[in-house]
Structure 1
Amino acid sequence: MKARWLAKGASVIAVLAATAAFACADGGCEGGFSLVGKSYSCRGRAMLAPGNDSRLNLMQMLADRGGRSTAGLTYPDAGSDYNNLGQVFVDWRMYRQALFPKADEETAATGQDYAGSRCAGFAAGSAALSAAMQANRALPPAERDALLTARGAAQDACKQSVSWERRYGDAAKLGPLPSFGQWPTVSSAAGRDFLAYLQAADAFYGERFDVARSGFAGLARANDPWLRETAAYLTIRVEFAAAQAPAFDEYGSYAGGAKVDRAAVKRGLEALAGYLKAWPQGRYAASAQGLLRRGLWLAGDYQALAATYARMTDAVSPQQEAAALLVEEVDTKFLFNPESAAATSQGALLLATQDLIALRDGGSELTAAALEAQAPRFAGAPRLFGYLQASQAFYVARDYARVLQLIPDEAKRPSFSNLEFSRQVLRGMALAALKDRNEAGFWQELLGGSTGLWQRPLVELGLAMSWERSGRVDAVFAPGSPVTDPTLRALLLDNSAAPALLRRVAQDRAIKSDERDKALYNLLSGELSRGQFAVFAADTALPLSGEMPSAKIFSKGPFGDGAYPCASIAVSARALAANPQDNAALLCLGDFFRLHGIGDTGYPDFGPAKDELGGFTKGFVGKQLARADFYTKVIASPAARADDKAYALYRAVMCYAPSGVSECGAEAPKAQRKAWYDQLKREYPASAWAKKLRYYW
Structure 2
Amino acid sequence: MVRKISLAVTVSLLLAHTPHAFASSDMEDCTWSDDTCLLKGAPVLAPDNDSRDNLLRLLSEAKSFALPVQPMPADITRSRDFYFAYHPQWDDVSPQSTSADAAPIEDKALAEQLAALQIDPAAMSADNGEQENRFVSNNTESVSQFFAALLADGALTPEQRHTLAQARVALLSGATSEQVSASLAALPAGAPALYKAYLDAAARFYEGDYAGAAQGFSALVKSDSPWLAETAQYMLMRTALNKSSQQSTGEYGDFDVTRVSHDDVVQAQNAAQAYLQRWSQGHYADSARGMLRRINWYLQAWPQLAERYEQAFQHAASPQALRGLVTEYDNVFGMQFYEHPLTEAFPEASLVSFIELLRALRLNSDNKPVLTQDALNTSKPAFEKGGKLPLWRNLQLNLWMATGNYAAVLQEVAPAQTLPAHDILVFSEQVIYGEALMAQQQWPAARDFWLRLLKLSQDNEQQQYVQAKLAATLVYMGDTAAVFAPDSAVTSLRYRSRVLKTQASPELLRQQATKGPNSEERTIALHTLLVRDLTENRFGDWLNDKKLTSAITPPVTGEAFDDVNLSIFDWNGDTTEPGYVCQSLNETVTALSKNAKDPHALNCLGEFFRTTRTQVDLWKESAGNGVLEAAISRKEPFGQSDRQRYYQRIIASPKAEPEDKSYALYRAIMCYAPSGANDCGGEEVDKLKRKGWFTQLKTQYPGSPWAQKLKYYW
TM-score, normalised with respect to structure 1:
0.82
Counterpart mapping for 1:416-495 below 5 A: 416-436=422-442, 437-452=444-459, 454-495=461-502
- The residue number in structure 1 matching 2:134 is 118
The amino acid of 1:60's aligned partner reads R
Q: CA deviation at 1:230?
A: 0.8
- The residue number in structure 2 matching 1:552 is 567
Q: CA deviation at 1:130?
A: 0.7
* Secondary structure of 1:423 counterpart: helix
* Contact 2:528–2:639 under 8 Å retained in 1: no
* Secondary structure of 2:470 counterpart: helix
* Secondary structure of 2:648 counterpart: helix
Hey, what's the Cα distance between the residues in 1 that align with 2:449 and 2:41?
A: 22
The amino acid of 1:456's aligned partner reads Q
Hey, what's the Cα distance between the residues in 1 that align with 2:628 and 2:662?
A: 46
Hey, what's the Cα distance between the residues in 1 that align with 2:464 and 2:591?
A: 46
- The residue number in structure 1 matching 2:118 is none
Q: Does 1:395 align with 2:397?
A: no
Q: CA deviation at 1:227?
A: 0.9
Is the alpha carbon distance of 1:113 and 1:142 closer, same or farther for their aligned partners in structure 2, counting shifts above 3 Å?
Answer: same
- The residue number in structure 1 matching 2:605 is 589
Is the alpha carbon distance of 1:130 and 1:318 closer, same or farther for their aligned partners in structure 2, counting shifts above 3 Å?
Answer: closer
Hey, what's the Cα distance between the residues in 2 that align with 1:343 and 1:178?
A: 52
Is the alpha carbon distance of 1:68 and 1:564 closer, same or farther for their aligned partners in structure 2, counting shifts above 3 Å?
Answer: same
* Contact 2:360–2:371 under 8 Å retained in 1: yes
Is the alpha carbon distance of 1:375 and 1:43 closer, same or farther for their aligned partners in structure 2, counting shifts above 3 Å?
Answer: same
- The residue number in structure 2 matching 1:329 is 328
Hey, what's the Cα distance between the residues in 2 that align with 1:446 and 1:223?
A: 67
* Secondary structure of 2:597 counterpart: coil
Q: CA deviation at 1:346?
A: 2.6
Equivalent of 2:162, from 145, 149, 166? 145
- The residue number in structure 2 matching 1:46 is 43
- The residue number in structure 1 matching 2:525 is 519
Equivalent of 2:652, from 623, 636, 658? 636
* Contact 1:8–1:118 under 8 Å retained in 2: no
Counterpart mapping for 1:589-608 below 5 A: 589-598=605-614
Greater mean deviation of Cα atoms: 213-222 or 343-352? 343-352
Hey, what's the Cα distance between the residues in 2 that align with 1:358 and 1:297?
A: 20
Is the alpha carbon distance of 1:551 and 1:519 closer, same or farther for their aligned partners in structure 2, counting shifts above 3 Å?
Answer: same
- The residue number in structure 2 matching 1:256 is 257
Q: CA deviation at 1:554?
A: 1.8
* Contact 1:265–1:295 under 8 Å retained in 2: yes
Gaps of 5+ in 2: 1-6, 31-38, 74-78, 107-126, 558-564
Hey, what's the Cα distance between the residues in 2 that align with 1:412 and 1:207?
A: 61
* Secondary structure of 2:677 counterpart: coil
Equivalent of 1:359, from 340, 358, 361? 361
Q: CA deviation at 1:403?
A: 1.0
Q: CA deviation at 1:64?
A: 3.2
Hey, what's the Cα distance between the residues in 2 that align with 1:583 and 1:373?
A: 72
- The residue number in structure 2 matching 1:695 is 712
Greater mean deviation of Cα atoms: 588-597 or 446-455? 446-455
Is the alpha carbon distance of 1:473 and 1:108 closer, same or farther for their aligned partners in structure 2, counting shifts above 3 Å?
Answer: farther
Q: Does 1:280 align with 2:280?
A: yes
Q: Does 1:89 align with 2:84?
A: yes
Hey, what's the Cα distance between the residues in 2 that align with 1:672 and 1:105?
A: 70
Counterpart mapping for 1:497-508 below 5 A: 497-508=504-515
Counterpart mapping for 1:79-228 below 5 A: 86-90=81-85, 113-122=129-138, 123-157=140-174, 182-184=182-184, 185-187=186-188, 189-228=190-229
1:220-240 per-position Cα deviation (integer Å, ceiling 9, x unaligned): 233321111111111111111
Is the alpha carbon distance of 1:507 and 1:557 closer, same or farther for their aligned partners in structure 2, counting shifts above 3 Å?
Answer: farther
Greater mean deviation of Cα atoms: 519-528 or 411-420? 411-420
Hey, what's the Cα distance between the residues in 2 that align with 1:146 and 1:345?
A: 54
- The residue number in structure 2 matching 1:376 is 381
Greater mean deviation of Cα atoms: 133-142 or 674-683? 674-683
Hey, what's the Cα distance between the residues in 1 that align with 2:69 and 2:713?
A: 56
- Identity value in percent: 32
* Secondary structure of 1:321 counterpart: helix
Equivalent of 1:563, from 571, 579, 587? 579
1:414-447 per-position Cα deviation (integer Å, ceiling 9, x unaligned): 5231212211111111121223322222222222
Hey, what's the Cα distance between the residues in 1 that align with 2:663 and 2:178?
A: 71
**Aligned residue-pair number:** 647
Hey, what's the Cα distance between the residues in 2 that align with 1:192 and 1:177?
A: 15
Hey, what's the Cα distance between the residues in 2 that align with 1:359 and 1:94?
A: 31
Hey, what's the Cα distance between the residues in 1 that align with 2:435 and 2:231?
A: 56
* Contact 2:549–2:555 under 8 Å retained in 1: no
* Secondary structure of 2:255 counterpart: coil
Is the alpha carbon distance of 1:364 and 1:205 closer, same or farther for their aligned partners in structure 2, counting shifts above 3 Å?
Answer: farther
1:259-311 per-position Cα deviation (integer Å, ceiling 9, x unaligned): 32222223222222222222222111222222222222333333322333334
- The residue number in structure 2 matching 1:66 is 63
1:516-563 per-position Cα deviation (integer Å, ceiling 9, x unaligned): 222111111112111122222221221156525512222344475163
Hey, what's the Cα distance between the residues in 2 that align with 1:340 and 1:645?
A: 61
* Secondary structure of 1:125 counterpart: helix
Hey, what's the Cα distance between the residues in 2 that align with 1:116 and 1:558?
A: 59
Q: Does 1:538 align with 2:544?
A: yes
Gaps of 5+ in 1: 1-5, 30-41, 79-83, 159-175
* Contact 2:609–2:641 under 8 Å retained in 1: no
Hey, what's the Cα distance between the residues in 1 that align with 2:709 and 2:292?
A: 75
Hey, what's the Cα distance between the residues in 1 that align with 2:66 and 2:456?
A: 13
* Contact 2:83–2:623 under 8 Å retained in 1: no
TM-score, normalised with respect to structure 2:
0.80
Q: CA deviation at 1:59?
A: 2.1
Q: CA deviation at 1:671?
A: 4.5
1:200-234 per-position Cα deviation (integer Å, ceiling 9, x unaligned): 11111121101110111121233321111111111
* Contact 1:9–1:290 under 8 Å retained in 2: yes
